[in-house]
Amino acid sequence: MSRTTSVVSVSPALRAEFFTPAAWETLTALTDVVLVDDPATLGATLDAGTSAAPSGLSRAQVLVISWGTPRLDAALLDRLPDLRLVAHTGASVKPFVTPELFARGVRVTQAGQGMAQSVGEVSVVFAMALLHQLPRFHHGLASGASWEVAENAPPRHEIAGTRVGVVGASRTGRAAITMLRALGAEVVVADPTLSAADAQALGVALVRLDDLLATSRITMLHAPTLPETHHLVGARELALMPDGAGLVNTARSWLTDEDALLREVANGRIDAALDVFDAEPLPVDHPFRTLPNVLLTPHHAAATVQGRLRQGSIVVEEVGRFLAGDPLLHEVDEAALTQMG
């Protein structure tokens, strides 16, 4: 019986980050692996023809992808006639997956669960930084302000006993909730899909979004990217936040009206800590970069050593389940894809 061929369309640098030697050994034991070192060239490599293409590439049943992979449209899939599984080493498959995949019976899975702890940790660090006014202090000292000017900041707060609102009890939201509760925060959650029983099990109070915004010193965004969550927090919602409150977004800029947020933080009424932006890379002249009450990171909340290795392990485990005929634990079906913003 012929062995399954898998194409791993992941750069060498990312392969080293995603796969431990043991995980890679498992993948190569399960399948005959064909490597495409530059994901962007996947289509071009297939176009090169069987004589020039790596052996077995066009007959692959499994395709492991990462960022930079072209969209898997009909033209590309025609050159992968035996494809049955696409496994993304990241979270959102929206940039790559098309309805054509599902029409051909190809299944899709992803490794977003591996990022939850990393992103949750950054969200909590962001919250504590805003509570202690660290962005203002850092900006003052780094910009060359006098000691007296740099130490001038609004009152600081400890996280224990502070109300933190979590918008979305996603896998990342739940990771953040666990840490927040361990630190003694009072956690409230707004999520229309969360039942009262689930909220009780998480140890949080379930509230309406408006109430969360109006009563939380820190609001964290962990909602999914769906049509109904586009600009979930806009000018009206931001106006509900108390003076001196902080907004943390490590999810997607999709969730906020960035122009409205810029207006609020520019006048100093609220603070923000952001890992995601409408335009990425963030333009060098963007006003966010100059504000002393805004903490910025370049969309890297998930990129920890441990998180990347979890992502690789998830992919290898999903390939193993697929080949064994077992249910996939991280599958994305067509209904879920069409709901993604």
For residues 42 and 49, give the distance between their C-alpha atoms in angstroms, rounded to a whole number: 12
Q: Give the pLDDT score at 1.
A: 54
For the segment 171-201, what is each residue's pLDDT rounded down to a tens digit?
Answer: 999 999 999 999 999 999 999 999 999 999 9
Q: Tokens 């000018």 label which residue? A: 235
What is 116-296's CATH number? 3.40.50.720
Per-residue exposure over 186-203, b if at least 16 CB sit within 10 Å of its own CB, e if not:
bbbbbbeebeeeebeebe
For residues 232 and 224, give the distance between their C-alpha atoms in angstroms, rounded to a whole number: 11
For residues 224 and 229, give the distance between their C-alpha atoms in angstroms, rounded to a whole number: 7
Can you give the residue ranges of every domain in the chain? 5-114+305-339, 116-296
Same fold for the domain at 5-114+305-339 and the one at 116-296? yes
For residues 112 and 310, give the distance between their C-alpha atoms in angstroms, rounded to a whole number: 9
For the chain, report the end-to-end CA distance as a whole number of angstroms: 42
Q: Predicted confidence band at 50 (pLDDT cuts at 50, 70, 90)?
A: very low
Question: Going by C-beta distance under 8 Å and a sequence separation of 6 or more, which residues neighbour residue 195?
Answer: none
For the segment 286-316, what is each residue's pLDDT rounded down to a tens digit?
Answer: 999 999 999 999 999 999 999 999 999 999 9
Mean pLDDT, the chain, whole residue set: 95
Q: Which of 251, 259, 207, 248 is nearest to 225 (CA)?
A: 251
Q: Give the pLDDT score at 55.
A: 59
For the segment 62-107, what is each residue's pLDDT rounded down to a tens digit?
Answer: 999 999 999 999 999 999 999 999 999 999 999 999 999 999 999 9
- Ordered strands of the 246-249 beta sheet: 205-206, 186-190, 163-167, 218-221, 246-249, 271-274, 294-296
pTM over 0.85: yes
Residue 311: both structure tokens together: 């992502």
Q: Does domain 5-114+305-339 have CATH number 3.40.50.720?
A: yes
Mean pLDDT of 235-259: 98
